[in-house]
Amino acid sequence: MSILFSQARIGNMTLKNRFVRSATWENMATEDGHMTDKLYAIYEELAQGEVGLIVTGYANIVEEEKPNAGMMGMYNDSFIDEYKKLTELVHENDSKIVMQLAYGGTKTTHNVGERVIFAPSEVPERGTQTLGKAMTKDEIDYIVQAFAQASRRAQQSGFDGVEIHAAHTYLINQFLSPYYNRREDEYGGSLENRMRFLVEIYTEIRKLVGDDFPILVKLTATEFFEGGLTFDETRIICKQLEAMGVDAIIISGNIHGKANELIGEQFDGYTLQQEGYFHEYGDVISKDVNVPVITVGGLSDIDAIEAIADNTNIQYFALSRPLLAEPHLIKRWKEGDKAVVDCERCSKCRTRRGNFCVVHNKRK
């Protein structure tokens, strides 16, 4: 019998099933990151579609650094009341909601030249070629505190937890990476030093939110290029996260758009899969640590998800694009309808008018 629709716990959060809406930036907040009716409607629909845990799109933690248009903000207390309305809406529909917090950095080309862009070192991002400013110790402390304050606001707003975005070449991922992090102080060099920024962020959040508030961390399994963060290093990072008390780890990658070309390729000893790109990596981690592991990326076939649940130690499954195409997908699966999902993985879901499925769900 499949575990997929059975109850489970992440930290002190009880989930009605094992399906997670992976963090998905909607590009539908106001210019300064405030909620809109469209955003409330999206979250209500996801909750009504029986997603067990909804992770918000990434929210910026300092006002001056917004790495993308239309993203949600969490950089001051003015957001608390409108997010209370959001969390109540989700809870009324019997789902849970966690806010993803991020400092962007050089990963995007949004408003380059108009915003301060921090980086561990002056190394251009490989895709965007955006160059950031190597952070001083004071700037590191400032961002660490900003993550903690944003988490405190999330807790006050009724979120069930927070997710630290440490994947996809955003700032924290860059600190972990030996390619992007060329620092010679206590934040660079050895893996222990490269992890320090993430460890400090986690520690400061925990101090403010207490032991019972779930903190999740999203990581890149491996950077998939020579000289980048390796999977062996990610395994060590996960052991450190376990020792500190992290409540769940999301194992992702950074191959968006290129996934179709890379499926079947081996990196650091494991193979990218057609269904659940990174689940071989997630499985290894879930056996290394006694922390729930969530796999994300390329999950769209309920039978394949069941097979992963049966044959690996992974117990949670996060989806992004399939839920843009079909917000009620989990409900449909629960009701026994296994028809092919209306998601072609074309990744055309990012548009200037907001992020939605332009092929199958154009209603926005």
Ligand X SMILES: Cc1cc2nc3c(=O)[nH]c(=O)nc-3n(C[C@H](O)[C@H](O)[C@H](O)COP(=O)(O)O)c2cc1C
For the chain, how big is the Rg over CA atoms in Å? 19
CB atoms < 10 A from the CB of 21, how many? 29
Long-range contact pairs involving 189-197 (C-beta distance under 8 Å, separation at least 24): 191/233, 191/236, 191/237, 195/237, 195/240, 197/120, 197/140, 197/144, 197/172
To ligand X, the closest distance from the beta carbon of 185 in angstroms equals 28
Closer of 182 and 360 to ligand X (Cβ): 360
For the bound state, the minimum distance from the C-beta of residue 174 to ligand X, rounded and expressed in Å, comes to 14
Give the side-chain half-sphere CA count within 13 A for 70. Answer: 14
Q: To the nearest whole angstrom, how small is the minimum distance from the Cβ of residue 323 to ligand X?
A: 8
In angstroms, what is the minimal distance from the CB of 186 to ligand X?
27
Q: Which among 245, 61, 78, 246 is positioned nearest to 149, based on CA atoms?
A: 61
Instruction: Write out the residues near ligand X by the rule CB under 6 A.
Output: 22-25, 57-58, 100, 165, 167-168, 218, 252, 256, 296-299, 319-322, 349-350, 355
| Shortest distance (Å) from residue 96 CB to ligand X | 17
Element (H, E) at 350: strand 350-351
- E strand or H helix at 353, and its extent? none
Cβ proximity to ligand X, 213 vs 277, nearer residue: 277
Which has the closest alpha carbon to 315: 11, 31, 14, 17?
17
User: Using the 8-state DSSP alphabet, how is residue 244 labeled?
Assistant: H
Q: Which is nearer to ligand X, 254 or 286 (CB)?
A: 254
N residues, the chain = 364
Catalytic hit among 58, 170, 180, 316: 170
| Cβ proximity to ligand X, 215 vs 319, nearer residue | 319
Q: With 0-12 CB in 10 A as exposed, 13-18 as middle and 19+ as buried, what is 73?
A: buried
Nearest to ligand X of 256, 360 (CB atom) = 256
Half-sphere exposure of 185 (CA within 13 A, CB side): 11
Residue 58 known to be catalytic: no
Residue 171 structure tokens:
């700032």
| Site of tokens 């926005």 | 364
Q: Which two tokens stand for residue 101?
A: 């917090």
What is the nearest approach in angstroms of ligand X to the Cβ of residue 286? Answer: 17
Cross-strand bridge partners of residue 198? none
Our CB check for ligand X shows the closer of 282 and 297 to be: 297
Q: Which residue numbers are catalytic?
A: 170
